[in-house]
Structure 1
């Protein structure tokens, strides 16, 4: 199979209403850039007719393929599956809801042809978000830059172009708790950002609740930093020093002035406070132990129920050489 110059990965989950409008805008952009391209949709276990509509597009345009999971594995894993199946010299990752403008790919490719191996879309406007959400996003980037192994460019997300060299490195990273934005920064390579404005979602609503976003942020920090573990070492040391100082104070006070009846409220407050500290520290340790447990089981990242079009051809040609595809 001739390798395309440009591949596009599009994770989808219940995006049936967006498939046709997305292809109507994306295909002309790709045709202007190069005659040799491919699109790989990754259906993350959608219960609606998303896959059926992708098959319709694949019949119309054979350069469109799809990988369909047996269940919902999450967007991060869907991106990893897309990277396993694309063949392009440059790979673009984008969402299906048209919040990532397809026309921006032309700017990405221009930067790539200048020599940049990683070109990311950098969001410039968050006016559509609540003040609380904007504040937590800003706090996350500051914490990650302060305590993480690497720094993340603020406003950069999954909408980006990655050179084949970077794709091959990302394919070797089989960790289960995936934080793709961190992995993109971790692999390095010459990078640059292209500012863009997020468009309104064409159909449907976002599936990222505040709880999911908080969990995602914690996964990101835990995957690239051990600071949450070290905090409890420092806190335990501080509490021990305070307890020794308090014990010394009461010893001296008793020797000089005798003893008096201790206060019951202060005793209860102290017990509940330190119990909470212990449980919280155990919870943080448990989070890291849980990640170790998930890794040592060595289960595949995803299970494929069906491959369509070019994705099926890639599977047939590469499955003998790639153990991750064999497991999938």
Structure 2
């Protein structure tokens, strides 16, 4: 049995040797054959040089190098496409995904033939800014209320999957990808291992609050039409409120005459309705933009160089 290890990399020249060393210890302990697939996602440092040298010294360490930065989702998709193992795992190269968990994950799959995937979830967020942890928890609560698929709070992309599940994930070839949702959507039997948060071993993360916020918006738009329903209901309620106010103004005018209208109240109504209209137009635009990108049928990524 071969285990394919898919590893997206973006400016990770310091982390790659440390990651490979740890993974080789785990491979020796497991007695399994590993196939490494590193994806250089348009790095600006010496990540590609490190991967080329690693490939020369270890033929099992393959690499794909993108022509530019396409994002982690594209890197995951490329790695899964090129993985040939009976089992496939997705891991971060910064060792925040503890490699030793692979041993227990493989044991669970061997002991439970009906189990298709063993994932991981963090039970603590120590070391993260409190504001990021708060919004992460709020995201999972929100997405599980408005989406048809359940996403486990704290779940990582780090998981060990059997080949049938990987093939099912590859059937979802959309351009706009959100892997956490895709892994849940395919619906295979999954069990989660819990672990405490681990700090990265080297380098700096490329994920800041703004990039994580945009990523969460992608997840909501890709796996829920609730924002469209909210826009429709809000628009309907605003129209009804405006109609009621119009009737009241007409009645007041007929009964009490035509008093001078107050400028503040007029501006409040205009700004409220105008702001809500802009919000709903923005929501519609987000979905239309997704449709626009899908209809272009562009490739998810472009490979400039890869190992033999």
> Which TM-score band (shorter chain)?
over 0.9
1:262 aligns with 2:261: yes
What residue is the counterpart of 1:240 in the other structure? 239
Q: Which string of whole-angstrom CA distances, capped at 9 and with x for unpartnered residues, describes residues 124-164 of structure 1?
A: 11121222111111110011100012111111011111110
Unaligned runs of 5+ in 1: 313-328
Deviation, 1:122, is: 1.0
What residue is the counterpart of 1:324 in the other structure? none
CA distance in 2, matches of 1:56, 1:104: 27
**Aligned partners of 2:3 and 2:32 also within 8 Å:** no
Deviation, 1:23, is: 0.9
How many residue pairs match? The answer is 306
CA distance in 2, matches of 1:7, 1:129: 30
CA distance in 1, matches of 2:222, 2:32: 39
Deviation, 1:281, is: 0.9
**Aligned partners of 1:68 and 1:306 also within 8 Å:** yes
Partner of 1:16, secondary structure, is: coil
What residue is the counterpart of 1:73 in the other structure? 70
What residue is the counterpart of 1:201 in the other structure? 200
Which residues in structure 2 correspond to 1:1-328 (within 5 Å)? 4-113=1-110, 114-115=112-113, 116-308=115-307, 312=308
**Aligned partners of 1:57 and 1:64 also within 8 Å:** yes
Partner of 1:23, secondary structure, is: helix
CA distance in 2, matches of 1:138, 1:46: 30
Q: Which string of whole-angstrom CA distances, capped at 9 and with x for unpartnered residues, describes residues 92-138 of structure 1?
A: 10000111111111111112212321111110111212221111111
CA distance in 2, matches of 1:135, 1:200: 18
Deviation, 1:223, is: 0.3
CA distance in 2, matches of 1:106, 1:273: 57
CA distance in 2, matches of 1:34, 1:289: 50
209-218 or 34-43: which moved more?
A: 34-43
Deviation, 1:298, is: 0.3
CA distance in 1, matches of 2:212, 2:198: 20
CA distance in 2, matches of 1:71, 1:244: 53
CA distance in 2, matches of 1:13, 1:95: 10
What residue is the counterpart of 1:323 in the other structure? none
CA distance in 2, matches of 1:196, 1:38: 25
CA distance in 2, matches of 1:76, 1:30: 26
Partner of 1:97, secondary structure, is: coil
Partner of 1:251, secondary structure, is: helix
**Aligned partners of 1:5 and 1:34 also within 8 Å:** no
Q: Which string of whole-angstrom CA distances, capped at 9 and with x for unpartnered residues, describes residues 57-76 of structure 1?
A: 22222111011111100001
RMSD of Structure 2 on Structure 1 (CA): 1.2
Partner of 1:292, secondary structure, is: helix
Deviation, 1:230, is: 1.0
CA distance in 1, matches of 2:295, 2:264: 46
Deviation, 1:22, is: 0.8
